[in-house]
Structure 1
Amino acid sequence: MKIDEAYLLAQLKALLAIDSPTGYTDQVVHYCSAELERLGLTPELTRRGAIRAVRQGSRRKGARAIVAHLDTLGAQVKLVKENGRLELVPIGHWSARFAEGGRVTLYSEIGSFRGTVLPLKASGHTFNDEVDTLPVGWPHVELRIDAITQSKAETRALGIDVGDFVAFDPNPEFLDNGFINSRHLDDKAGVAIALAAIEALEREGVKMPVDVHFLFTIAEEVGVGAAAIVTPEIASMVTIDNGSTAPGQNSAEFGVTIAMADQAGPFDYHLTKKLVDLCREEEIPFQKDVFRYYRSDSASAIEAGHDVRTALIAFGIDASHGYERIHAHALTSVATLAASYAASPLEIARDVKEVSGPEGFPHQPTEEADQPEFDPDKIAGVE
């Protein structure tokens, strides 16, 4: 299947333009629901706004799920300070180092305000070297609102209060060489990938062996993720999210990164192997990685008690949860794999049942691997 890269990138641009810190996701839910309807699917929303859109296959049970999350990092007002500025706490796990200097929109009960997040000592003309020695952390930054206020009372009179949401401008830049720089590529890029996979399946009229549930969650950044949206007929779930390309990792900004494990433990052996085999069959460039300080929608589903096979396919991202960078090659690669997975044959037939006997239960290889015949003359140091 050919992924429409122009469509994928257009969706990413549209999604990045919509603020959606965890807890303030209604607008992006409406947008995504409308796009799913335009593609021909019927979205169903949970009470809080997580989305399920089922593309029907030949059978209902043993269904597959492909999941991405709509929510992003952000902040909330912790305290209205005596000087009229605002102390913040983060939404999700990210460093205040990447919040400093950020332009933001604050959403209050009566309307939105613009502002800037600054270190407590922001003026070099006033604090000199103290600007550089100020510690990094959320207690050491504050939000300066672009409104006339110099006191707590004046800020409160504007309608601003504790708990108001703060969304950071993504500042996206799409370069001609395929690189994309922006905040919130985690996981707006994953959502765009899922939509592009749906578009390809619909455009090609692909028939699938089982139903595929496309899931869009709204609280992954705070650990809730897919905990409450997985239905009993789902047997396997593939998460689309970012893979860190930092030193010590095997992820890349090109091709697909297939995660073998994260901090919640190994992903399902058979589902992961299926994705690797699909990459080889479809000639999709890929690499494997293990993440030590990372969890995804898959982890939240397992921890919630859902007995589903889980896997994670990732687009390599540099500076995750900071000023992020990805490449279009990874986005189209992951979308190709997601669409190929949705259309691929069902290998483990017994997975259509939640519980059954041992017949048909798969095996993991245990045989000794073939090795070259031992030749002592080839050992280093032997003449």
Structure 2
Amino acid sequence: MKHLRIDTEYLLDILLKLLFTPSPAGYTDRVVHLICEELERLDVPFELTRRGAIRATLKGENERPNKAIVAHIDTLGAMVKALKPNGRLQLVPIGHWNSRFAEGARCTLFTDIGQHRGTILPLKASGHTFGPEIDKQEGGWDHVEFRIDERVFELQDLLHLGVHVGDFVAIDTSPEVTATGFINARHLDDKAGAALLMAAVKAVKENDVRLPVDCHPLFTISEEVGSGASAALHKDVAEMLTIDNGTTAPGQNSSEFGSTICMADMSGPFDYHLTHRIIQICQEFQIPHQRDVFKYYRSDSAAALEAGNDVRTALVTFGIDASHGYERIHQEALESVAELVAIYMQSPPLYARDRFEMGPRAGFPTVPG
């Protein structure tokens, strides 16, 4: 195993391309094509599931037991719940996010025949009209509406535009990269993960690294609504490393710098042996890292296990401030996680017996105690 240089310019470029490609869960075809085009450019073979999850393959010296590394390319968003008499739209969220982060957001509405720009606003949005009432109104998705940037004043105007219940709304990401290395945007969860995974793939390809076993970069399309990596795996995968965001908030041990290894989330502990292999790599190659536990969090790993895949899972994260809101990360964390991922791709499988779904006791590991 060797430390590979990550092309940070490429990482940032692909991240911005992803951020400017709308992909709320359920409306992900455009971003799927973007990733596929990039994999083709890097000469990495891949397959698609029926709905568009991507399974790429970096060939190794052995086919099994192989490993997968997963990031998701779907995001939060909204959907039209009702057309209102005043020409505005009632919304419901796609994925779990608070409406206070939606208030004031610029958005794109996708109808069957076109797209329209607009803004999500609280029901009482004008201080000049409602005065102190705007500070007293209730929060929640029932108390916001979508104002479309068209000449619409009543429900009939919306119908003439071709607006329907169930139309998708994508939230502008509004990215900004500062001179100090901070990246601010919506949907860094998990487009930053997808970008750093692509950067790690590029590093492995350009350095012509020989991998011990097949490695499958996966890009899932429904993590924000729970199903995530439930469909893109195959039975030869013994280890799966998930890349996602870590929450840098009071009471958490995550950081916007280095790699954060998640030991457990709301679905339970991650695989002891794979998690400690990831920690060992960080220690051996001097990758800054910390450990954390997330109480209100689940990822592609949970979806894979709940779908019946008997696979060892681990979760490595880049620290995000204000997750599921207007998020902030630091480029240093993306570099650290990409370096870690590129080294993990080169690592041998944890246990030879893992090439079989079922086997004898011989070769089965034990935890220290």
Q: TM-score, normalised by structure 2?
A: 0.99
Per the alignment, residue 166 of structure 1 pairs with 169
**Shift, 1:58, TM fit:** 1.0
1:339 aligns with 2:342: yes
Q: Which residue of 2 aligns with 1:300?
A: 303
Distance 2:28 2:362 in 1: 45
**What residue ranges of structure 2 are gaps of 5+ in the alignment?**
none
Query: Residues of 1 paired with 2:351 and 2:236: CA distance?
Result: 14
**How far apart, in 2, do the equivalents of 1:115 and 1:109 lie?**
17
Give the C-alpha shift of residue 347 in structure 1. Answer: 3.1
How is 1:313-332 mapped onto 2 (pairs within 5 angstroms)?
Answer: 313-332=316-335
Q: 2:243 aligns with which of 240, 245, 268?
A: 240
Q: State which of 201, 206, 213 in structure 2 corresponds to 1:203.
A: 206
Instruction: Give the conservation status (yes or no) of the 8 Å contact 2:66–2:349.
Output: no
Match of 1:24 in 2: 27
Question: How far off is 1:42 after superposition?
Answer: 1.3
Other structure's SS at 2:348 match:
coil
CA distance in 1, matches of 2:49, 2:263: 30
Provide the C-alpha distance between the structure 2 equivalents of 1:185 and 1:363, rounded to a whole number of angstroms: 37
**CA deviation after TM superposition for structure 1 residue 136, in Å:** 1.1
Distance, in Å, in 2 between the alignment partners of 1:339 and 1:249 is 26
Letter in 2 for 1:358: R
Moved over 4 A (4+): none
Distance in structure 2 (CA, Å) of the matches to 1:40 and 1:116: 40
| Deviations 1:335-365 (CA, angstroms, capped at 9, x unpaired) | 0000100001223111111111011111100
* Residue of structure 2 equivalent to 1:281: 284
Where 1:321 maps in the other structure, the secondary structure is coil
Secondary structure of 2:212's counterpart equals coil
Distance in 1 separating the partners of 2:230 and 2:286:
33
Deviations 1:302-341 (A, max 9, x none): 0111000000000000000001000000000000000100
User: Does the 8 Å contact 2:23/2:75 carry over to 1?
Assistant: yes
Match of 2:312 among 295, 304, 309: 309
Task: Answer with 1 or 2: which has the greater Rg.
Answer: 1
2:254 maps to: 251
For residues 107 and 69 of structure 2, the distance between their equivalents in structure 1, rounded to whole angstroms, comes to: 31
Deviation at 1:43, TM superposition (A): 1.8
Which residues in structure 2 correspond to 1:1-383 (within 5 Å)? 1-366=4-369
Partner SS for 2:317: strand
SS at match of 1:167: strand
Deviations 1:84-121 (A, max 9, x none): 10000000000000000000000000100000000000
Cα shift readout 1:123-180 (whole Å, capped 9, x = no counterpart): 0011001101111100000000000010011111100010000000000001111100
Letter in 1 for 2:78: A
Per-residue Cα deviation, 1:9-47 (whole angstroms, up to 9, x for no partner): 111011101000001100000000010111111121111
AA of the residue aligned to 1:38: R
Deviations 1:225-252 (A, max 9, x none): 0001110000010000000001000000
Inter-partner Cα distance in structure 2 for 1:218 and 1:333: 25
Cα drift, residue 257 of structure 1:
0.2
In 2, the alpha carbon distance for the partners of 1:128 and 1:81 equals 24
Aligned residue for 1:379? none
Q: Residue 23 of structure 1 aligns to which amino acid in structure 2? A: G
Q: Partners of 1:11 and 1:118 in 2: how far apart? A: 31
Q: Counterparts of 1:213 and 1:316 in 2: how far apart (Å)? A: 24
The RMSD of aligned alpha carbons is: 0.5
Q: Distance in 2 between matches of 1:245 and 1:302?
A: 26
> How many positions carry a matched residue from both structures?
366
DSSP 3-state at the match of 2:196 = helix
CA drift at 1:205? 0.7
CA distance in 1, matches of 2:53, 2:350: 29
State the distance in 2 between where 1:242 and 1:220 align: 12
Percent sequence identity is 60
Gaps in structure 1 of 5+ consecutive residues: 367-383
